[in-house]
């Protein structure tokens, strides 16, 4: 059984003006997501600026989210690292807090071989019992989890149950699902490819768009799963200009700008990320107005 089906939000980590985590706003964002139909919270992923959180901050944000959500919907904790031992540590701590799942990004910078990926993920998974979603995003990590590798892991490691596929390569996703024969849950990692991956047997999306349009993102998936493919496709296509604007600069720069435009006070970004260029912010605001989430 999948950790979740539907739209999981890759939620931002709001910051105070001094750069510290804004827990009051984080609680507000969690409640906003739950109220508007999000199916799962993915905390401390790429969108949550996990790469610039200290280990202590990272774990406190995970603990806080699990406590505040309080089992109303699943909470999946991002606990991946390019250091296997660090990923083991973060994963074990998140499990202690009661995470419903773990999201493990492929090791970045090291550029592990496929053999290395199998060893990395097997060691982390064997250190916990919580279900694990692999996260394949080669544009950020320089490392591609090949379909054969993902399937080998899912078949041989009991708690590796899903993959967030953000390679952008539909052919690779199709090959993965052909080889998997149902042994792995597929989540789209790209908001512009939700319907295509659902058509290949996917069960949902781990979404940046959900930060600002949780109900609409949920509906894209739910309509498809309910058999309303036409309605799902129409929503997907309607969202494309906003999705493009949300990725006009590196994530999470635009999505934090979008939340700030909505009055959600997500705050600033941690260096080396910088504020959005004014011209791109104008385009973002225009797309938000056209989508109906900004007046």
- The tens digit of pLDDT for each residue in 223-278 reads 999 999 999 999 999 999 999 999 999 999 999 999 999 999 999 999 999 999 99
- pTM score of the predicted model: 0.97
Give the per-residue pLDDT at 256. Answer: 98
Helix (H/G/I), strand (E/B), else coil: 82: coil
Residue 219 makes CB contacts below 8 A (sequence gap 6+) with: 37, 231, 232, 235
- Which letter does DSSP use for residue 15 in this model? B
Assign 3-class secondary structure to 131-142: CEEEEECHHHHC
Q: What is the DSSP secondary structure assignment for residue 201, as one 8-state letter?
A: T
The pLDDT assigned to 215 comes to 98
- For residue 1, what pLDDT band results from cuts at 50, 70 and 90? confident
By percentage, how much of the chain surpasses pLDDT 90?
Answer: 99
Residues annotated as catalytic are 135, 164
Q: Which helix (H) or strand (E) holds 282?
A: helix 278-291
pLDDT digits (tens, 9 = 90+) for 40-57: 999 999 999 999 999 999
CA distance 97 to 128: 12
The total number of residues shown for the chain amounts to 295
């Amino acid at each position: 059984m999948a950790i979740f089906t539907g739209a999981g939000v890759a939620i931002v980590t709001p910051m105070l003006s001094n750069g510290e985590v804004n827990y009051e706003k984080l609680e507000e964002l969690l409640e906003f997501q739950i109220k508007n139909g999000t199916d799962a919270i993915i905390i401390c992923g790429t969108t949550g600026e996990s790469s610039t959180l200290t280990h202590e901050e990272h774990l406190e944000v995970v603990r806080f989210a699990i406590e505040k959500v309080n089992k109303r919907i699943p909470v999946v904790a991002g606990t991946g690292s390019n250091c296997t031992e660090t990923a083991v540590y973060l994963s074990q701590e998140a499990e202690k807090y009661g995470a419903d799942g773990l999201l493990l990004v492929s090791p970045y910078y090291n550029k592990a071989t496929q053999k290395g990926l199998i060893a990395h993920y097997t060691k982390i998974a064997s250190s916990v019992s919580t279900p694990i979603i692999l996260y394949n995003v080669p544009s950020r990590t320089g490392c591609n989890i090949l379909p054969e590798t993902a399937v080998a892991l899912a078949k041989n490691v009991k708690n590796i149950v899903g993959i967030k596929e953000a390679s952008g390569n539909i052919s690779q996703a199709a090959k993965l699902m052909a080889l998997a024969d149902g042994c792995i849950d597929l989540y789209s990692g790209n908001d512009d490819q939700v319907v295509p991956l659902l058509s290949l047997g996917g069960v949902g999306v781990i979404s940046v768009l959900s930060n600002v349009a949780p109900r609409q993102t949920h509906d894209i998936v739910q309509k498809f799963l309910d058999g309303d493919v036409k309605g799902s496709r129409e929503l997907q296509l309607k969202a494309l200009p906003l999705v493009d604007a949300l990725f006009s600069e590196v994530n999470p720069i635009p999505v934090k700008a979008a939340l700030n435009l909505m009055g959600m006070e997500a705050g600033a970004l941690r260096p080396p990320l910088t504020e959005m260029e004014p011209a791109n912010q104008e385009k973002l605001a225009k797309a938000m107005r056209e989508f109906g989430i900004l007046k």
